[in-house]
Amino acid sequence: MIEVLFYILSTITLGTALLTIFSRNPIHSAIYLVICFFSIAGHYLLLNAQFLAIVHVIVYSGAIMILMLFTIMLMNLNKEHEKHKPKLIIIAATIAFCLVALVLLAALLKTKPVVESYYNSGTDFQSIKVLGQVLLNEYMVPFEFASVLLLVAMIGAVLISKKEKQKA
């Protein structure tokens, strides 16, 4: 039964992730992403991590998707008024994307899994106290990087959405 539920959730996750990428309407894309986040929360529930599932739903499906929807509405993506980007900018963005993808792929291929024997410490890692200590002690730097990344993305969205001054 759990395997069937896992495969159903995996199919929903992969399907909505692909629909998010290939959807032409940004609002539909955001809705597909919310469905994808809910199915990932279902995976957390299958792993018996109820707290992470609830936090995932609250943080990602709630706060971040609302922020993305406001950003989409703020940008006013009308194709009639959109200016075409110069070819040089498109080529530079494509090259930058390919370089970042190459670096990420190289980093993924160079990593080696840590092979350790399983040790049962008897500590309950489902408790909020232990999870908070792990997040704010061992994973403090990635936690702060995530907050800075969200701040930079929000500032970038506001700068992109600013109206350019009309030339007289």
pLDDT digit string (tens) for 44-94? Answer: 999 888 888 888 888 887 777 777 777 777 766 555 555 677 888 889 989
pLDDT digit string (tens) for 108-144? Answer: 888 877 677 767 776 666 677 777 787 788 888 888 8
Per the CB < 8 A criterion, the answer to whether 131 and 137 are in contact is no
| Annotated domain spans of the chain | 1-84
Distance in angstroms (rounded) separating the CA atoms of residues 77 and 86: 18
The residues near 52 (Cβ < 8 Å, ≥ 6 apart) are 44
Distance in angstroms (rounded) separating the CA atoms of residues 146 and 140: 10
With cut-offs at 50, 70 and 90, classify the pLDDT of residue 12: very high
Q: What is the CA radius of gyration of the chain?
A: 20
Q: Which residue has the tokens 């759990």?
A: 2
The percent of residues in the chain predicted with pLDDT above 70, rounded, is 84
pTM of the model: 0.55
The residues near 31 (Cβ < 8 Å, ≥ 6 apart) are none
Entry field: residues in the chain: 168
Per the CB < 8 A criterion, the answer to whether 160 and 84 are in contact is no
- What residue type is 160 in one-letter code? I
- What residue type is 146 in one-letter code? A
Among 7-16, 69-78, 94-103, the range scoring the smallest mean pLDDT is: 69-78
| C-beta atoms surrounding 33 within 10 Å | 21
Domain at 1-84, CATH class = mainly alpha
> Looking at residue 149, what is its pLDDT?
87
pLDDT digit string (tens) for 15-38? Answer: 999 998 988 887 788 889 889 999
